[in-house]
Structure 1
Amino acid sequence: ILSIAGAILLIMPILVLLYYGFVVYRSSAGLSIQVFESILLTLITSAISAAVVFLLFTPLAYELATSRHLGLESISDIPASIPHPIVGIAFLILGSPFTPTGRFLASIGISFFDSIQGIVIALTFVSAPIYIRTMQSVFSSRKQDADLYTMSLGTSRIKMLYGAILPSLKRETLYAGLTSMSRGMSEFGSIAILAYYVTQYPFVGVSNASVLIYNYYGYLGPGVAVTASALMIVISIAVLAAARLFGRSGNWRSQSSND
Protein backbone atom coordinates (compact mmCIF):
# COMPACT_ATOMS: atom_id res chain seq x y z
CA ILE A 1 0.00 0.00 0.00
CA LEU A 2 2.79 2.40 0.87
CA SER A 3 4.47 1.64 -2.46
CA ILE A 4 1.26 2.46 -4.33
CA ALA A 5 0.79 5.64 -2.29
CA GLY A 6 4.35 6.69 -3.08
CA ALA A 7 3.87 6.03 -6.79
CA ILE A 8 0.63 8.05 -6.79
CA LEU A 9 2.38 10.91 -5.02
CA LEU A 10 5.04 10.96 -7.75
CA ILE A 11 2.76 10.67 -10.78
CA MET A 12 -0.32 12.66 -9.69
CA PRO A 13 1.19 16.17 -9.99
CA ILE A 14 2.49 15.30 -13.47
CA LEU A 15 -0.87 13.97 -14.68
CA VAL A 16 -2.73 16.96 -13.25
CA LEU A 17 -0.32 19.39 -14.90
CA LEU A 18 -0.61 17.63 -18.26
CA TYR A 19 -4.42 17.67 -18.07
CA TYR A 20 -4.71 21.32 -17.09
CA GLY A 21 -1.93 22.38 -19.43
CA PHE A 22 -3.30 20.74 -22.57
CA VAL A 23 -7.04 20.72 -21.82
CA VAL A 24 -8.31 23.15 -19.18
CA TYR A 25 -5.81 26.02 -19.46
CA ARG A 26 -4.54 25.37 -22.97
CA SER A 27 -2.91 28.61 -24.15
CA SER A 28 -1.56 29.51 -27.57
CA ALA A 29 1.12 31.63 -25.87
CA GLY A 30 2.28 28.51 -24.06
CA LEU A 31 2.80 26.80 -27.42
CA SER A 32 4.41 29.76 -29.18
CA ILE A 33 7.60 29.92 -31.22
CA GLN A 34 9.29 31.49 -28.21
CA VAL A 35 8.53 28.41 -26.13
CA PHE A 36 9.83 26.03 -28.80
CA GLU A 37 13.02 28.11 -29.19
CA SER A 38 13.50 27.95 -25.44
CA ILE A 39 12.99 24.18 -25.40
CA LEU A 40 15.41 23.79 -28.33
CA LEU A 41 18.03 25.79 -26.42
CA THR A 42 17.43 23.59 -23.39
CA LEU A 43 17.79 20.38 -25.39
CA ILE A 44 20.96 21.53 -27.18
CA THR A 45 22.73 22.80 -24.06
CA SER A 46 21.71 19.71 -22.08
CA ALA A 47 23.00 17.41 -24.83
CA ILE A 48 26.29 19.33 -25.04
CA SER A 49 26.71 19.20 -21.27
CA ALA A 50 26.04 15.44 -21.32
CA ALA A 51 28.79 15.04 -23.92
CA VAL A 52 31.17 17.13 -21.80
CA VAL A 53 30.29 15.09 -18.72
CA PHE A 54 31.05 11.89 -20.65
CA LEU A 55 34.46 13.16 -21.75
CA LEU A 56 35.51 14.59 -18.40
CA PHE A 57 34.00 12.27 -15.82
CA THR A 58 34.01 8.76 -17.31
CA PRO A 59 37.63 8.17 -16.17
CA LEU A 60 36.68 9.42 -12.69
CA ALA A 61 33.71 7.03 -12.52
CA TYR A 62 35.97 4.14 -13.56
CA GLU A 63 38.57 5.12 -10.97
CA LEU A 64 35.94 5.23 -8.22
CA ALA A 65 34.61 1.82 -9.30
CA THR A 66 37.98 0.08 -9.30
CA SER A 67 39.84 1.84 -6.49
CA ARG A 68 39.00 3.28 -3.10
CA HIS A 69 39.32 7.07 -2.98
CA LEU A 70 37.33 8.64 -0.14
CA GLY A 71 38.44 12.12 -1.17
CA LEU A 72 37.30 11.68 -4.76
CA GLU A 73 34.04 10.11 -3.56
CA SER A 74 33.30 13.20 -1.49
CA ILE A 75 34.32 15.63 -4.22
CA SER A 76 32.09 13.95 -6.79
CA ASP A 77 29.08 14.42 -4.49
CA ILE A 78 29.67 18.12 -3.81
CA PRO A 79 27.57 19.48 -6.73
CA ALA A 80 24.55 17.54 -5.46
CA SER A 81 24.77 19.13 -2.00
CA ILE A 82 25.21 22.79 -2.98
CA PRO A 83 22.10 24.97 -3.54
CA HIS A 84 22.15 25.61 -7.25
CA PRO A 85 21.81 29.41 -7.16
CA ILE A 86 25.14 29.28 -5.32
CA VAL A 87 26.56 27.28 -8.24
CA GLY A 88 25.50 30.09 -10.57
CA ILE A 89 27.13 32.69 -8.34
CA ALA A 90 30.33 30.63 -8.13
CA PHE A 91 30.68 30.44 -11.91
CA LEU A 92 29.72 34.10 -12.20
CA ILE A 93 32.69 34.97 -9.99
CA LEU A 94 34.92 32.43 -11.74
CA GLY A 95 34.21 34.08 -15.09
CA SER A 96 34.22 37.67 -13.85
CA PRO A 97 36.68 40.04 -15.55
CA PHE A 98 37.65 41.19 -12.05
CA THR A 99 39.21 37.80 -11.25
CA PRO A 100 42.36 36.21 -12.74
CA THR A 101 40.39 33.21 -14.00
CA GLY A 102 37.81 35.48 -15.61
CA ARG A 103 40.48 37.55 -17.35
CA PHE A 104 42.11 34.38 -18.66
CA LEU A 105 38.80 33.02 -19.95
CA ALA A 106 38.04 36.36 -21.60
CA SER A 107 41.44 36.30 -23.30
CA ILE A 108 40.51 33.04 -25.04
CA GLY A 109 37.00 34.19 -25.89
CA ILE A 110 35.01 32.40 -23.19
CA SER A 111 32.30 34.19 -21.22
CA PHE A 112 29.91 32.49 -18.81
CA PHE A 113 27.54 35.46 -18.39
CA ASP A 114 24.34 35.26 -20.48
CA SER A 115 25.96 32.80 -22.86
CA ILE A 116 25.56 29.26 -24.14
CA GLN A 117 28.92 28.43 -22.56
CA GLY A 118 27.56 29.60 -19.21
CA ILE A 119 24.53 27.34 -19.45
CA VAL A 120 26.65 24.37 -20.52
CA ILE A 121 29.19 24.78 -17.70
CA ALA A 122 26.41 25.09 -15.12
CA LEU A 123 24.58 22.03 -16.45
CA THR A 124 27.84 20.07 -16.58
CA PHE A 125 28.50 20.84 -12.92
CA VAL A 126 25.04 19.95 -11.60
CA SER A 127 24.52 16.84 -13.75
CA ALA A 128 27.98 15.31 -13.22
CA PRO A 129 27.15 13.48 -9.94
CA ILE A 130 24.27 11.45 -11.38
CA TYR A 131 26.43 10.41 -14.36
CA ILE A 132 29.41 9.52 -12.18
CA ARG A 133 27.32 7.41 -9.82
CA THR A 134 25.50 5.65 -12.65
CA MET A 135 28.71 4.78 -14.50
CA GLN A 136 30.41 3.83 -11.25
CA SER A 137 27.64 1.29 -10.68
CA VAL A 138 28.01 0.01 -14.26
CA PHE A 139 31.77 -0.41 -13.93
CA SER A 140 31.44 -2.04 -10.50
CA SER A 141 29.06 -4.68 -11.86
CA ARG A 142 31.68 -5.90 -14.35
CA LYS A 143 34.10 -8.72 -13.62
CA GLN A 144 37.59 -7.24 -13.21
CA ASP A 145 39.58 -10.36 -14.15
CA ALA A 146 39.89 -9.48 -17.84
CA ASP A 147 40.90 -5.91 -16.97
CA LEU A 148 43.65 -7.08 -14.64
CA TYR A 149 44.95 -9.49 -17.27
CA THR A 150 44.97 -6.77 -19.93
CA MET A 151 46.86 -4.38 -17.66
CA SER A 152 49.37 -7.12 -16.84
CA LEU A 153 50.27 -7.12 -20.54
CA GLY A 154 51.23 -3.45 -20.33
CA THR A 155 48.02 -1.77 -21.48
CA SER A 156 47.36 1.53 -19.72
CA ARG A 157 44.12 2.01 -17.77
CA ILE A 158 42.95 4.89 -19.97
CA LYS A 159 43.61 2.94 -23.18
CA MET A 160 41.81 -0.09 -21.80
CA LEU A 161 38.88 2.09 -20.69
CA TYR A 162 38.30 3.74 -24.07
CA GLY A 163 39.54 0.91 -26.27
CA ALA A 164 37.93 -2.12 -24.66
CA ILE A 165 35.57 -1.38 -21.78
CA LEU A 166 33.40 1.47 -23.09
CA PRO A 167 32.81 -0.14 -26.53
CA SER A 168 31.31 -3.11 -24.68
CA LEU A 169 29.10 -0.82 -22.59
CA LYS A 170 27.57 1.38 -25.28
CA ARG A 171 23.98 1.05 -24.11
CA GLU A 172 24.82 1.53 -20.46
CA THR A 173 26.94 4.58 -21.26
CA LEU A 174 24.18 6.07 -23.41
CA TYR A 175 21.73 5.43 -20.58
CA ALA A 176 23.97 7.30 -18.14
CA GLY A 177 24.43 10.14 -20.63
CA LEU A 178 20.69 10.52 -21.27
CA THR A 179 20.01 10.45 -17.54
CA SER A 180 22.58 13.21 -17.13
CA MET A 181 20.89 15.12 -19.96
CA SER A 182 17.51 14.75 -18.24
CA ARG A 183 18.98 16.21 -15.08
CA GLY A 184 20.37 19.13 -17.05
CA MET A 185 17.01 19.83 -18.67
CA SER A 186 15.43 20.31 -15.24
CA GLU A 187 17.95 22.88 -14.00
CA PHE A 188 16.82 26.36 -12.98
CA GLY A 189 18.71 27.88 -10.06
CA SER A 190 22.22 28.14 -11.47
CA ILE A 191 21.03 29.22 -14.92
CA ALA A 192 18.77 31.95 -13.52
CA ILE A 193 21.86 33.50 -11.92
CA LEU A 194 24.44 32.86 -14.63
CA ALA A 195 22.57 33.05 -17.95
CA TYR A 196 19.04 34.39 -17.51
CA TYR A 197 18.85 34.78 -21.27
CA VAL A 198 21.34 34.19 -24.07
CA THR A 199 22.95 37.01 -26.03
CA GLN A 200 24.57 34.79 -28.67
CA TYR A 201 23.41 33.81 -32.15
CA PRO A 202 21.22 31.90 -32.95
CA PHE A 203 19.52 32.17 -29.55
CA VAL A 204 19.68 35.93 -28.98
CA GLY A 205 17.17 36.86 -26.29
CA VAL A 206 16.15 33.23 -25.68
CA SER A 207 15.95 31.87 -22.13
CA ASN A 208 16.31 28.32 -20.91
CA ALA A 209 12.91 26.59 -20.65
CA SER A 210 12.80 26.62 -16.85
CA VAL A 211 13.63 30.33 -16.76
CA LEU A 212 11.05 31.14 -19.46
CA ILE A 213 8.32 29.23 -17.61
CA TYR A 214 9.23 31.11 -14.43
CA ASN A 215 8.87 34.39 -16.34
CA TYR A 216 5.54 33.30 -17.81
CA TYR A 217 4.22 32.49 -14.36
CA GLY A 218 5.27 35.88 -13.00
CA TYR A 219 4.22 38.10 -15.91
CA LEU A 220 1.51 36.24 -17.86
CA GLY A 221 -0.09 34.15 -15.15
CA PRO A 222 -0.31 30.43 -14.40
CA GLY A 223 -2.43 29.61 -17.47
CA VAL A 224 0.38 30.23 -19.96
CA ALA A 225 3.00 28.78 -17.62
CA VAL A 226 0.99 25.58 -17.15
CA THR A 227 0.73 24.97 -20.91
CA ALA A 228 4.45 25.58 -21.47
CA SER A 229 5.22 23.37 -18.47
CA ALA A 230 3.08 20.54 -19.83
CA LEU A 231 4.92 20.69 -23.16
CA MET A 232 8.29 20.62 -21.41
CA ILE A 233 7.20 17.66 -19.30
CA VAL A 234 6.30 15.66 -22.42
CA ILE A 235 9.75 16.27 -23.90
CA SER A 236 11.51 15.52 -20.62
CA ILE A 237 9.59 12.26 -20.23
CA ALA A 238 10.54 11.29 -23.80
CA VAL A 239 14.25 11.76 -23.03
CA LEU A 240 13.94 9.88 -19.74
CA ALA A 241 12.00 7.07 -21.43
CA ALA A 242 14.77 6.72 -24.01
CA ALA A 243 17.30 6.51 -21.18
CA ARG A 244 15.28 3.83 -19.42
CA LEU A 245 14.93 1.88 -22.66
CA PHE A 246 18.68 1.77 -23.19
CA GLY A 247 19.25 0.97 -19.54
CA ARG A 248 16.78 -1.91 -19.61
CA SER A 249 18.29 -3.27 -22.83
CA GLY A 250 21.72 -3.11 -21.26
CA ASN A 251 20.48 -5.01 -18.21
CA TRP A 252 18.93 -7.72 -20.38
CA ARG A 253 22.17 -8.10 -22.29
CA SER A 254 24.17 -8.22 -19.07
CA GLN A 255 21.88 -10.88 -17.61
CA SER A 256 22.07 -12.93 -20.81
CA SER A 257 25.87 -12.83 -20.82
CA ASN A 258 25.99 -13.85 -17.15
CA ASP A 259 23.66 -16.77 -17.86
Structure 2
Amino acid sequence: MGRVTERRRVIRIRDGAVSTRPDTLVAEEPLEIRLGGKPLAITMRTPGDDFALAAGFLVSEGVLASAGELANIVYCAGATDEGGSNSYNVVDVRLAEGVPVPDITLERNVYTTSSCGLCGKASLDAVRTTTRWPLDTSPETPVRIEPATLSALPDRLRSAQRVFERTGGLHAAALFTTDGELLDIREDVGRHNAVDKIVGRALQQGQLPLSSCVLMVSGRASFELVQKAVMAGIPVLAAVSAPSSLAVDLAVETGLTLVGFLRGASMNVYAGEHRLALSAAASTD
Protein backbone atom coordinates (compact mmCIF):
# COMPACT_ATOMS: atom_id res chain seq x y z
CA MET A 1 0.00 0.00 0.00
CA GLY A 2 1.34 3.42 -0.90
CA ARG A 3 2.07 5.83 1.93
CA VAL A 4 0.09 8.99 2.58
CA THR A 5 3.31 11.01 2.69
CA GLU A 6 6.80 10.67 1.23
CA ARG A 7 10.13 12.34 1.93
CA ARG A 8 12.14 14.25 -0.69
CA ARG A 9 15.37 16.26 -0.56
CA VAL A 10 14.94 19.99 -1.09
CA ILE A 11 17.22 23.01 -1.20
CA ARG A 12 15.92 25.57 1.26
CA ILE A 13 16.66 29.28 0.87
CA ARG A 14 15.79 31.56 3.76
CA ASP A 15 17.01 35.16 3.88
CA GLY A 16 19.89 34.30 1.57
CA ALA A 17 21.01 31.25 3.58
CA VAL A 18 21.07 28.01 1.57
CA SER A 19 20.70 24.57 3.13
CA THR A 20 19.53 21.10 2.18
CA ARG A 21 16.92 19.21 4.14
CA PRO A 22 14.29 16.49 3.75
CA ASP A 23 10.75 17.69 3.13
CA THR A 24 7.49 15.85 3.71
CA LEU A 25 5.24 15.71 0.65
CA VAL A 26 1.76 14.35 0.17
CA ALA A 27 1.77 11.16 -1.89
CA GLU A 28 -0.04 11.11 -5.22
CA GLU A 29 -0.64 7.86 -7.10
CA PRO A 30 -3.12 6.72 -9.75
CA LEU A 31 -6.08 4.59 -8.75
CA GLU A 32 -7.90 2.64 -11.45
CA ILE A 33 -11.51 1.86 -10.58
CA ARG A 34 -13.00 -1.18 -12.28
CA LEU A 35 -16.66 -2.18 -12.22
CA GLY A 36 -17.31 -5.88 -12.61
CA GLY A 37 -13.79 -6.35 -13.98
CA LYS A 38 -14.11 -3.61 -16.62
CA PRO A 39 -12.06 -0.39 -16.39
CA LEU A 40 -14.25 2.59 -15.49
CA ALA A 41 -12.06 5.46 -14.28
CA ILE A 42 -8.58 6.49 -13.26
CA THR A 43 -8.13 9.15 -10.60
CA MET A 44 -4.98 10.67 -9.13
CA ARG A 45 -5.38 10.34 -5.38
CA THR A 46 -3.62 10.14 -2.05
CA PRO A 47 -3.51 6.42 -1.10
CA GLY A 48 -5.83 5.45 1.72
CA ASP A 49 -9.58 4.79 1.99
CA ASP A 50 -9.43 3.49 -1.58
CA PHE A 51 -12.51 1.29 -1.21
CA ALA A 52 -14.50 4.21 0.18
CA LEU A 53 -13.26 6.40 -2.67
CA ALA A 54 -14.45 3.86 -5.25
CA ALA A 55 -17.81 3.46 -3.54
CA GLY A 56 -18.32 7.22 -3.28
CA PHE A 57 -17.38 7.66 -6.92
CA LEU A 58 -20.09 5.16 -7.89
CA VAL A 59 -22.62 6.99 -5.72
CA SER A 60 -21.90 10.19 -7.66
CA GLU A 61 -22.30 8.23 -10.90
CA GLY A 62 -25.73 6.97 -9.84
CA VAL A 63 -24.60 3.33 -9.76
CA LEU A 64 -24.83 2.82 -5.97
CA ALA A 65 -27.19 4.23 -3.36
CA SER A 66 -27.07 1.72 -0.49
CA ALA A 67 -24.70 -0.75 1.11
CA GLY A 68 -26.98 -3.60 0.03
CA GLU A 69 -26.24 -2.86 -3.63
CA LEU A 70 -22.52 -3.43 -3.09
CA ALA A 71 -21.20 -7.00 -3.02
CA ASN A 72 -17.53 -6.21 -2.39
CA ILE A 73 -14.50 -4.20 -3.39
CA VAL A 74 -11.09 -5.82 -3.79
CA TYR A 75 -7.62 -4.84 -4.85
CA CYS A 76 -6.57 -6.47 -8.10
CA ALA A 77 -3.42 -8.57 -7.84
CA GLY A 78 -0.53 -8.31 -10.27
CA ALA A 79 -1.19 -4.67 -11.08
CA THR A 80 2.43 -3.73 -11.76
CA ASP A 81 4.06 -3.75 -15.20
CA GLU A 82 5.85 -6.96 -14.25
CA GLY A 83 2.62 -8.50 -12.98
CA GLY A 84 4.39 -10.07 -10.03
CA SER A 85 3.29 -7.91 -7.12
CA ASN A 86 0.33 -5.83 -6.08
CA SER A 87 0.65 -2.08 -6.51
CA TYR A 88 -2.61 -1.47 -4.60
CA ASN A 89 -3.50 1.02 -7.32
CA VAL A 90 -6.34 -0.95 -8.95
CA VAL A 91 -9.65 -1.79 -7.30
CA ASP A 92 -12.54 -3.83 -8.66
CA VAL A 93 -16.09 -3.15 -7.50
CA ARG A 94 -18.63 -5.96 -7.63
CA LEU A 95 -22.31 -5.13 -7.38
CA ALA A 96 -24.78 -7.27 -5.49
CA GLU A 97 -26.81 -9.81 -7.41
CA GLY A 98 -29.67 -8.18 -9.26
CA VAL A 99 -28.18 -4.68 -9.28
CA PRO A 100 -27.92 -3.53 -12.90
CA VAL A 101 -24.43 -2.84 -14.20
CA PRO A 102 -24.28 0.18 -16.53
CA ASP A 103 -22.90 -0.45 -19.99
CA ILE A 104 -19.62 1.27 -19.31
CA THR A 105 -18.21 0.19 -22.68
CA LEU A 106 -20.80 2.36 -24.41
CA GLU A 107 -20.67 5.27 -22.00
CA ARG A 108 -17.37 6.86 -21.09
CA ASN A 109 -14.11 5.88 -19.54
CA VAL A 110 -13.17 8.71 -17.23
CA TYR A 111 -9.70 10.04 -16.51
CA THR A 112 -9.93 12.19 -13.42
CA THR A 113 -7.08 14.46 -12.38
CA SER A 114 -6.66 15.73 -8.84
CA SER A 115 -7.91 19.16 -9.91
CA CYS A 116 -10.75 18.70 -12.33
CA GLY A 117 -12.97 15.89 -11.05
CA LEU A 118 -15.69 14.69 -13.38
CA CYS A 119 -15.16 17.36 -16.00
CA GLY A 120 -17.04 15.48 -18.70
CA LYS A 121 -20.36 15.31 -16.89
CA ALA A 122 -21.99 18.69 -17.15
CA SER A 123 -25.74 18.11 -17.48
CA LEU A 124 -27.73 19.83 -14.73
CA ASP A 125 -30.89 17.97 -15.63
CA ALA A 126 -29.09 14.61 -15.59
CA VAL A 127 -28.04 15.06 -11.96
CA ARG A 128 -31.51 16.22 -10.91
CA THR A 129 -33.26 13.27 -12.51
CA THR A 130 -30.80 10.52 -11.57
CA THR A 131 -30.27 11.21 -7.88
CA ARG A 132 -31.95 8.67 -5.59
CA TRP A 133 -32.18 11.28 -2.84
CA PRO A 134 -33.98 14.41 -4.13
CA LEU A 135 -33.40 17.33 -1.78
CA ASP A 136 -36.35 18.83 0.03
CA THR A 137 -36.75 22.28 -1.51
CA SER A 138 -39.62 23.35 0.77
CA PRO A 139 -39.02 26.39 3.01
CA GLU A 140 -40.46 24.25 5.83
CA THR A 141 -37.62 21.74 5.59
CA PRO A 142 -36.47 20.60 9.05
CA VAL A 143 -32.81 21.08 8.10
CA ARG A 144 -31.85 24.47 9.51
CA ILE A 145 -28.45 25.83 10.39
CA GLU A 146 -27.32 28.97 12.15
CA PRO A 147 -24.86 31.22 10.28
CA ALA A 148 -22.73 31.25 13.43
CA THR A 149 -22.49 27.47 13.26
CA LEU A 150 -21.33 27.68 9.66
CA SER A 151 -18.75 30.30 10.60
CA ALA A 152 -17.07 27.88 13.00
CA LEU A 153 -16.70 25.04 10.47
CA PRO A 154 -13.56 26.18 8.57
CA ASP A 155 -11.51 26.29 11.77
CA ARG A 156 -12.83 22.91 12.86
CA LEU A 157 -12.01 21.48 9.45
CA ARG A 158 -8.51 22.93 9.52
CA SER A 159 -7.74 21.74 13.04
CA ALA A 160 -8.74 18.18 12.12
CA GLN A 161 -6.43 18.01 9.05
CA ARG A 162 -3.61 15.87 10.42
CA VAL A 163 -1.71 15.27 7.17
CA PHE A 164 -2.03 18.90 6.05
CA GLU A 165 -0.07 19.90 9.15
CA ARG A 166 2.91 17.91 7.84
CA THR A 167 2.65 18.65 4.11
CA GLY A 168 0.56 21.76 3.46
CA GLY A 169 -0.57 20.07 0.25
CA LEU A 170 -3.92 18.40 0.88
CA HIS A 171 -7.55 19.23 0.39
CA ALA A 172 -10.11 18.11 2.92
CA ALA A 173 -13.82 17.37 3.14
CA ALA A 174 -15.66 17.07 6.43
CA LEU A 175 -19.16 16.03 7.40
CA PHE A 176 -20.84 17.95 10.21
CA THR A 177 -24.21 17.91 11.92
CA THR A 178 -26.29 21.09 11.71
CA ASP A 179 -25.11 21.81 15.26
CA GLY A 180 -21.48 21.80 14.10
CA GLU A 181 -20.46 18.37 15.42
CA LEU A 182 -17.73 16.76 13.33
CA LEU A 183 -18.82 13.36 12.04
CA ASP A 184 -16.04 12.49 9.59
CA ILE A 185 -13.13 14.07 7.76
CA ARG A 186 -11.03 12.81 4.84
CA GLU A 187 -7.96 14.34 3.20
CA ASP A 188 -6.73 13.87 -0.36
CA VAL A 189 -4.66 15.59 -3.01
CA GLY A 190 -7.94 15.98 -4.93
CA ARG A 191 -10.89 17.72 -3.27
CA HIS A 192 -13.36 15.55 -5.21
CA ASN A 193 -11.57 12.42 -3.95
CA ALA A 194 -11.91 13.63 -0.35
CA VAL A 195 -15.66 13.99 -0.89
CA ASP A 196 -15.88 10.55 -2.51
CA LYS A 197 -14.13 9.06 0.53
CA ILE A 198 -16.64 10.75 2.84
CA VAL A 199 -19.64 9.58 0.80
CA GLY A 200 -18.22 6.09 0.25
CA ARG A 201 -17.68 5.56 3.96
CA ALA A 202 -21.26 6.65 4.61
CA LEU A 203 -22.52 4.17 2.01
CA GLN A 204 -20.45 1.33 3.50
CA GLN A 205 -21.92 2.11 6.94
CA GLY A 206 -25.50 2.27 5.65
CA GLN A 207 -25.86 5.99 6.36
CA LEU A 208 -27.10 7.29 3.00
CA PRO A 209 -28.81 9.61 2.42
CA LEU A 210 -26.91 12.17 4.47
CA SER A 211 -30.01 14.31 4.66
CA SER A 212 -29.26 15.96 8.01
CA CYS A 213 -25.63 16.82 7.37
CA VAL A 214 -23.45 19.70 6.20
CA LEU A 215 -20.51 19.07 3.88
CA MET A 216 -17.57 21.44 4.37
CA VAL A 217 -14.76 21.50 1.79
CA SER A 218 -11.45 23.27 1.51
CA GLY A 219 -10.90 25.32 -1.61
CA ARG A 220 -13.58 26.15 -4.12
CA ALA A 221 -17.02 24.66 -4.73
CA SER A 222 -16.94 23.23 -8.24
CA PHE A 223 -19.71 21.61 -10.25
CA GLU A 224 -18.53 18.10 -9.43
CA LEU A 225 -18.60 18.78 -5.67
CA VAL A 226 -22.17 20.05 -5.86
CA GLN A 227 -23.01 16.97 -7.95
CA LYS A 228 -21.52 14.64 -5.35
CA ALA A 229 -23.36 16.36 -2.50
CA VAL A 230 -26.69 16.13 -4.31
CA MET A 231 -26.18 12.48 -5.25
CA ALA A 232 -25.51 11.66 -1.58
CA GLY A 233 -28.58 13.57 -0.39
CA ILE A 234 -26.52 16.22 1.43
CA PRO A 235 -28.62 19.42 1.74
CA VAL A 236 -25.86 21.94 2.61
CA LEU A 237 -22.45 22.42 0.99
CA ALA A 238 -20.05 25.06 2.32
CA ALA A 239 -16.66 26.05 0.91
CA VAL A 240 -13.94 28.46 1.98
CA SER A 241 -13.55 29.76 -1.56
CA ALA A 242 -15.71 30.60 -4.56
CA PRO A 243 -18.20 28.42 -6.43
CA SER A 244 -18.29 28.20 -10.19
CA SER A 245 -21.27 29.46 -12.17
CA LEU A 246 -22.24 25.91 -13.09
CA ALA A 247 -22.05 24.87 -9.44
CA VAL A 248 -24.51 27.63 -8.53
CA ASP A 249 -26.82 26.64 -11.40
CA LEU A 250 -26.86 23.03 -10.22
CA ALA A 251 -27.46 24.06 -6.60
CA VAL A 252 -30.44 26.19 -7.63
CA GLU A 253 -31.77 23.43 -9.89
CA THR A 254 -31.61 20.75 -7.19
CA GLY A 255 -32.45 22.79 -4.09
CA LEU A 256 -29.00 22.53 -2.47
CA THR A 257 -27.90 25.19 0.00
CA LEU A 258 -24.57 26.45 -1.35
CA VAL A 259 -22.32 28.69 0.73
CA GLY A 260 -19.02 30.11 -0.52
CA PHE A 261 -16.28 32.41 0.77
CA LEU A 262 -16.93 31.08 4.27
CA ARG A 263 -14.32 32.97 6.25
CA GLY A 264 -14.89 34.02 9.82
CA ALA A 265 -18.29 35.61 10.21
CA SER A 266 -18.51 36.37 6.47
CA MET A 267 -20.04 34.17 3.79
CA ASN A 268 -21.94 34.32 0.51
CA VAL A 269 -25.10 32.24 0.17
CA TYR A 270 -25.63 31.38 -3.50
CA ALA A 271 -28.63 29.06 -3.24
CA GLY A 272 -30.95 27.44 -0.72
CA GLU A 273 -31.00 30.31 1.76
CA HIS A 274 -34.23 28.91 3.28
CA ARG A 275 -32.11 26.48 5.32
CA LEU A 276 -30.22 29.27 7.05
CA ALA A 277 -31.72 30.67 10.26
CA LEU A 278 -31.43 34.30 9.21
CA SER A 279 -32.52 36.94 11.73
CA ALA A 280 -33.40 39.55 9.10
CA ALA A 281 -34.61 39.61 5.51
CA ALA A 282 -31.84 39.40 2.95
CA SER A 283 -31.06 42.63 1.10
CA THR A 284 -31.61 42.64 -2.65
CA ASP A 285 -29.10 45.42 -3.31
> TM exceeds 0.5?
no
Higher helix share: 1
Select the structure with the greater relative contact order (CA < 8 A; seq sep ≥ 6).
1
Structure with max Cα Rg: 1
TM value normalised by structure 1: 0.24
Higher strand share: 2
TM value normalised by structure 2: 0.22
